[in-house]
């Protein structure tokens, strides 16, 4: 498709030399999943036949006028407050530029009086990224350029679907506070978690309902200057966020180190090639000629409305992680996956029902990735209790758990049906006697001073016992027996 002469696919995030530091700010567009579009009654739905969810207003027909969707404003303010923003009286503004998929040839957006401003987001690792603003705007239609290299400049013709035109967006603009590619990924992932917790968008990067543009520059570590930045577009997944930023930063570093400088421009992330390519040059920064949208009135939330917004906020991922960490006795970062999957409440319930916190977390992380199915928190706690009491080995526990998810049965019933009975230490002692008698050399190596050998042979004896018991022995109990005879 493209002629690439330099680097090939570059799957891993390149590392950044120590003497350089990244300066990254992110602009994240989130499509608000309202029933209708921002300024008209057309359905806001992904995947409909092209140009079926359209009307005079979202097609920008002459004489049509916008009417503000109150639900979109509410979602925008909820997200703003969840990002610790100040919500202020705001106005819509026209951002004037021409593009075929933008029906009015201006975008109704916000400029110097955005709805949300001056907030922040803390990543799970505890890095605070300040948020400059989170403003409301309308989406454009979607162009498909046919022929050429897929861009409008070389296309034979273009097809435009205006179904997306007028879909409400919230654009969340971070301050240039991000210093590593990992921080950028953590920021996007946390932001996505907050959006999902609020239910204001499905935030699917692959479907474009969440889109990330990265402003990237570098500087010598220790300096506080802001060097020329490039805006990277077309980043389609959270892992690409990291790769694109690291790649672009290294491109800048290479330029500086060979005595050149980057130019300010928009670049496109090429996922396949693993590199950024130049897009439209921003040297002649487009003049958007912003002015207040005369067809809409100012948005002035009342104190009561703002209170209701705050009261409507659910527990956000950061608070969920903290609560689970405390209950389970783990680090907040270890709770990330469970919170992300929306299972924090389930975990807390299982712990409250008496389940061991650490085992609850382990099972949710490792054995319940496909969902909890018919499992209830109480049943789950019962299983974990059998496990910690030594009535089930970890292998058995896993097997029982899988069936509980399917059937919703109790751990005791399923274990009994499978013939998983707690194996007494007496029985195991007998088996061990026999093993030692049959393998005297191995036993000597186990009991010897060579720690490596000893470990190896512990594995051998445990394995033999597991084989003999078909995995029903509790590994921990076997280890205790072995060590007591050493």
Residues that bind another protein (CB under 8 A): 56, 59-68, 94, 96, 98, 100, 103-106, 152-153, 158, 160, 287, 289-291, 294-297
Q: How far is the CB of 68 from another protein (least distance, A)?
A: 6
H or E segment and range at residue 290: none
Is the distance from CB of 109 to CB of 93 less than 8 angstroms? yes
Report the residue number, 103 or 124, with the smaller CB distance to another protein.
Answer: 103
Neighbouring residues of 49: CB distance < 8 A, sequence distance ≥ 6: none
Q: How many CB atoms lie within 10 A of CB 223?
A: 12
Query: Cβ closer to another protein: 104 or 247?
Result: 104
Q: How far is the CB of 144 from another protein (least distance, A)?
A: 14
Angle of CA points 62, 68, 71, to nearest 5°: 145
275 backbone dihedrals φ, ψ, rounded to 5°: -150, 165
Smallest gap from Cβ 295 to another protein, in A, equals 5
Q: By C-alpha distance, which of 283, 188, 190, 195 is closest to 235?
A: 188
Contacts of 452 (CB under 8 A, 6+ apart): none
Give SS3 for 131. strand
Whose Cβ is closer to another protein: residue 289's or residue 476's?
Answer: 289
Name which of 150 and 424 has its Cβ closer to another protein. Answer: 150
Question: Whose Cβ is closer to another protein: residue 120's or residue 290's?
Answer: 290
Q: C-beta of 102: minimal distance to another protein in Å?
A: 9
Tokens describing residue 12: 């891993």
* Nearest one of 229, 210, 185 to 23, comparing CA atoms: 229
Note whether 109 and 138 are within 8 A (CB): yes
Residue closer to another protein, measured from CB, 223 or 281: 281
DSSP conformation class of 65: -
Q: Which is nearer to another protein, 293 or 403 (CB)?
A: 293
Residue 439 CA to residue 451 CA, distance in Å, equals 19
Residues pairing with 146 in the sheet? 157
Between 100 and 199, whose beta carbon lies closer to another protein?
100
Tokens of 160: 């435009």
* Helix axis angle, 357-366 to 344-352, nearest 10°: 150
Q: How far is the CB of 113 from another protein (least distance, A)?
A: 14
Q: For helices 377-388 and 344-352, give the axis angle rounded to 10 degrees.
A: 60
DSSP 370: T
């Amino acid at each position: 498709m493209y002629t690439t002469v330099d680097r090939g696919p570059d799957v891993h995030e390149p590392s950044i030399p120590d003497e350089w530091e990244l300066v990254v700010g992110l602009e994240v567009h989130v499509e608000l999943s309202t029933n209708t579009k921002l300024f008209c009654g057309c359905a806001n739905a992904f995947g409909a036949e092209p140009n079926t969810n359209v009307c005079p207003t979202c097609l920008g027909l002459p004489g049509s006028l916008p009417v503000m969707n109150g639900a979109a404003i509410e979602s925008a303010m909820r997200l703003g407050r969840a990002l610790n923003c100040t919500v202020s009286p705001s106005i819509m503004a026209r951002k004037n530029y021409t593009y075929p998929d933008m029906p009015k040839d201006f975008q109704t957006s916000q400029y110097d009086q955005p709805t949300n401003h001056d907030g922040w987001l803390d990543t799970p690792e505890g890095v605070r990224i300040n948020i400059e603003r989170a403003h409301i705007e309308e989406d454009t239609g979607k162009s498909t350029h046919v022929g050429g290299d897929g861009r409008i400049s070389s296309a034979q013709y273009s097809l435009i679907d205006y179904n997306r035109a007028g879909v409400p967006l919230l654009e969340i603009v971070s301050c240039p506070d991000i210093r590593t590619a990992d921080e950028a990924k953590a920021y996007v992932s946390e932001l996505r978690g907050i959006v999902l917790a609020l239910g204001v968008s499905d935030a699917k990067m692959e479907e474009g309902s969440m889109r990330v543009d990265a402003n990237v520059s570098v500087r010598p570590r220790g300096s506080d200057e802001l060097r020329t930045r490039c805006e990277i577009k077309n980043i389609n997944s959270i892992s690409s966020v990291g790769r694109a930023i690291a790649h672009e930063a290294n491109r800048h570093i290479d330029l500086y180190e060979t005595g050149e400088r980057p130019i300010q421009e928009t670049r496109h992330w090429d996922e396949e090639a693993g590199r950024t390519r130049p897009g439209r040059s921003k040297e002649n920064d487009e003049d958007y000629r912003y002015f207040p949208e005369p067809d809409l009135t100012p948005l002035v939330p009342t104190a009561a409305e703002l209170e209701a917004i705050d009261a409507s906020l659910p527990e956000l991922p950061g608070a969920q992680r903290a609560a689970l960490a405390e209950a389970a006795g783990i680090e907040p970062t270890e709770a990330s996956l469970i919170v992300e999957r929306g299972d924090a409440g389930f975990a807390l319930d299982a712990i409250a029902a008496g389940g061991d916190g650490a085992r609850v977390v382990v099972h949710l992380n490792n054995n319940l990735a496909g969902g909890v199915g018919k499992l209830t928190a109480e049943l789950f706690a019962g299983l974990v209790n059998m496990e910690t009491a030594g009535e089930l080995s970890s292998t058995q526990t896993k097997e029982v758990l899988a069936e509980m998810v399917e059937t919703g049965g109790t751990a005791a019933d399923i274990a009994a049906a499978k013939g998983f009975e707690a194996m007494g230490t007496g029985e195991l002692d007998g088996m061990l006697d026999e093993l030692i008698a049959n393998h005297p050399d191995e036993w000597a190596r186990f009991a010897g001073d060579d720690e490596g050998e000893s470990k190896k042979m512990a594995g051998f004896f445990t394995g033999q016992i597991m084989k003999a018991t078909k995995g029903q022995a509790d590994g921990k109990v076997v280890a205790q027996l072995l060590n007591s005879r050493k």
